[in-house]
Amino acid sequence: MAVEPVFTVPDEIDFRGAIAVTQSLLDAIEQDAVTAGTIDTTIRALVRHVDGARGFFVTYLSDDRPLADHLMPTIIAALQSAPTVVSPLLVKNLAMSTAMAITHRRNQDPVMATGSDRVRSRTAQLIQALQLPEVDVEAHDLMQAIETQQGNYEGFLNRWHYDTEQRQAIWHTLNAIGTGSRQ
């Protein structure tokens, strides 16, 4: 009988550490070498802090394996344990992947565009599965910033230099999955 791996998540895990833990966790999930309880405990520990959650999402949403395409109830429950950390990151991931798909297409890089599309699709699926009211608030704030060029997300939009086409695509992506309008 194989021994189940143990995933140590320090209280203040950094971004790189979170990526490493998440990669190991995904490997163990793929090999069916980890229990639902260990998955839950590990992800809850990762998403307690922003850097841990960022590392988790970067790895989970962009992984080439189809693991993130088939949402596990254990992963959903673990992510629901930290709505104030998870919600803004999911909304930003959805916005960034939407905008980057446009950038990659402009640069005639279909491989990277496909990767951004996959992250956008997975993020949208995750947002819909989580049904967090905090996501709706964040999405509403982002949609308002796009409409008014003011608000909590205007700095985010400007920092990444999103142009009109990218902003409109972000707005339409948020609207299409029903976030921001459920407020």
Query: In the prediction, which pLDDT does 5 show?
Result: 83
Query: In the prediction, which pLDDT does 39 show?
Result: 97
Please answer whether residues 21 and 7 qualify as being in contact, where contact means their C-beta atoms are separated by less than 8 angstroms. Answer: yes
Query: In the prediction, which pLDDT does 178 show?
Result: 81
Query: In the prediction, which pLDDT does 36 show?
Result: 96
**Residue 104 contacts by C-beta under 8 Å, 6 or more apart in sequence?**
110, 112, 113, 115, 116
129-180 per-position pLDDT tens digit: 999 999 999 999 999 999 999 999 999 999 999 999 999 999 999 999 887 5
Under DSSP, is residue 99 helix (H, G, I), strand (E, B) or coil?
A: helix
139-143 contacts at long range (C-beta below 8 A, 24 or more positions apart): 139/91, 139/174, 139/179, 139/180, 140/179, 140/180, 140/181, 140/183, 141/180, 142/91, 142/95, 142/170, 142/174, 142/180, 143/171, 143/174, 143/175, 143/180, 143/181
pLDDT-flagged residues of the chain (< 70): 1-3, 180-183
Query: In the prediction, which pLDDT does 46 show?
Result: 97
Tokens encoding 141: 């704030």
Q: State the average pLDDT for the chain.
A: 94
Rounded (10°) angle between helices 110-130 and 50-62? 120
